[in-house]
Amino acid sequence: MKKQINVAIIGAQFMGRAHSNAWFDVNKFYDLPFEVKMKIACDINPDSEHGFAEKLGWEKFEKSWEKVVNSPEIDIIDICTPNNLHHSIAVAAAKAGKHVVCEKPLAMNSAEAKLMFETAEKAGVKHLTAFNYRRVPAISLARQIIDEGKIGKIHHFNAVYYQDWLINPNFPYVWRHDASVAGSGAHGDMNAHTVDLAHFLVGEMDSVCGDNKVFIEEREIPGTGRKGKVTADDATIFMANFTNGAIGNFIATRFATGRKNYLRLEIFGSRGSLGFNLERLNELEYYSTDDINYEQGFRTIMVTESIHPYLKKWWPAGHIIGWEHTFIHEIGDFLHAISNNSPVKPDFYDGYLCQVVLDAVSKSIARKSWIQISN
């Protein structure tokens, strides 16, 4: 009989739904020593329950996150709230001895993130920053190919993250437009992902220099007839120098008309190259100068075979998996780490490193200059 492990989730919006799905399904695809029990779903916004808990498999719903964090029956806290609550909840959870999963960006700034990391470490709990794209099989394979030296020394890391949900001027004012709640706009939401992938695939950065833009400065606050001033960036771009000599370029925007969730990476090395696009997340592009010269070309690897990372858990070759499955990989690996008391990545330190870069970019924009990274 398997040991039971009790989970609570805080935040019942989009990310809460995606994580719930993973907790619900993880035992079907992972061989785990635990039986996952989905105990409590929590959201401080009373409008958020509407059958959320029942529909997604949680035993009950709570409105007080403090109560949840301190509930003795809970082993794991999964934080899916807006960014301004991450820090308080995570610190309280860790202090209460809970393992913690936290959505990205980890915090409102690097100071908060650092404290979260230190608190979790001190408490001896497992902590994970939910950079789920590391566990897209194609990204895991990219890392493997890089680690094997197959693309050699990396010269360029170019990342774009394109969405277009804000191009409509009638899109209402929401919490994500308010920098005091969201921390930032496209930058924290989208560059957080690409910066973490840069850390994962290339390494740390020395210096950054950025620019940003609010294209539509006011939006209507639903039901009020008033307009809210948009303080979170619609787009942030930046240049970077990596400590290993590579140079980086990052573009994040919610004004890329026609692109829905298009995160594209291009990594050029001395022996080969890699390309990736999140909207075709089952594919990895790879170019190798080791191929016979007249046969060289970018390959599209269908990363759906049992020889590929994570795919043994899924379906036969060519049967693609969806975006949500990355959360199952994340949760599954997290549970293994708890079970084995082994490290799991990306942890809060990775969340902190990402936050340091995001902060440096913001500072560089404010100062209109290059900023050295120090952590």
Which contiguous run of DSSP H or E holds residue 316? Answer: none
Nearest one of 102, 98, 41 to 73, comparing CA atoms: 98
Place of tokens 């100068």: 289
255 binds its own copies (CB under 8 A): yes
Specify whether the CB–CB gap between 267 and 154 falls below 8 A: yes
The Cα 200–Cα 374 span in angstroms is 18
Contact residue for its own copies among 71, 121, 266, 375 (CB under 8 A)? 266
The Cβ of residue 105 has, within 10 Å, a number of other Cβ atoms equal to: 30
Q: Whole-number minimum distance, CB 206 to its own copies, in Å?
A: 11
Amino acid at 62: E
Q: Whole-number minimum distance, CB 268 to its own copies, in Å?
A: 5
What would the DSSP string read from start to end of 64-125? -HHHHHT-TT--EEEE-S-GGGHHHHHHHHHHTT-EEEEPSS-SSSHHHHHHHHHHHHHHT-
Contact residue for its own copies among 279, 340, 342, 366 (CB under 8 A)? 279
241 binds its own copies (CB under 8 A): yes
> Which of 123-131, 178-186, 198-206, 304-312 is the region at the interface with its own copies (rule: CB under 8 A)?
304-312
> Which of 68-76, 139-147, 174-182, 355-363 is the region at the interface with its own copies (rule: CB under 8 A)?
139-147
288 binds its own copies (CB under 8 A): yes
Long-range contacts of 52-58 (CB under 8 A, 24+ apart): 52/12, 52/16, 52/17, 53/12, 56/17, 56/20, 56/21, 56/24, 57/20, 57/23, 57/24, 58/9, 58/20
> Which of 59-67, 91-99, 176-184, 232-240 is the region at the interface with its own copies (rule: CB under 8 A)?
232-240
Contact residue for its own copies among 206, 247, 339, 375 (CB under 8 A)? 247
Structure tokens at 350: 């990775």
369 binds its own copies (CB under 8 A): yes
Contact residue for its own copies among 3, 50, 55, 67 (CB under 8 A)? 55
Over 156-188, what HEC string results?
EEEEEEECCCCCCCCCCCCHHHCHHHHCCCHHH
244 binds its own copies (CB under 8 A): no
The residue (of 200 and 286) whose beta carbon lies closer to its own copies is: 286
Where in 68-127 is the site for its own copies (CB under 8 A)?
Answer: none
Q: Is the dihedral of CA 195, 201, 203, 208 positive or negative?
A: negative
316 binds its own copies (CB under 8 A): yes
**Residue 190 burial class via C-beta count within 10 angstroms: exposed 0-12, middle 13-18, buried 19 and up:** buried
328 binds its own copies (CB under 8 A): no
348 binds its own copies (CB under 8 A): no
The residue (of 80 and 108) whose beta carbon lies closer to its own copies is: 80
304 binds its own copies (CB under 8 A): yes
Q: Whole-number minimum distance, CB 176 to its own copies, in Å?
A: 12
Instruction: With H, G, I as helix, E, B as strand and everything else as coil, classify residue 285.
Output: strand
354 binds its own copies (CB under 8 A): no
Contact residue for its own copies among 115, 167, 181, 221 (CB under 8 A)? 167
Where in 144-163 is the site for its own copies (CB under 8 A)?
Answer: 144-145, 150-151, 155-156, 158, 160, 162-163
Q: Whole-number minimum distance, CB 359 to its own copies, in Å?
A: 19
297 binds its own copies (CB under 8 A): yes
The Cα 285–Cα 300 span in angstroms is 5
Specify whether the CB–CB gap between 39 and 9 falls below 8 A: no
321 binds its own copies (CB under 8 A): yes
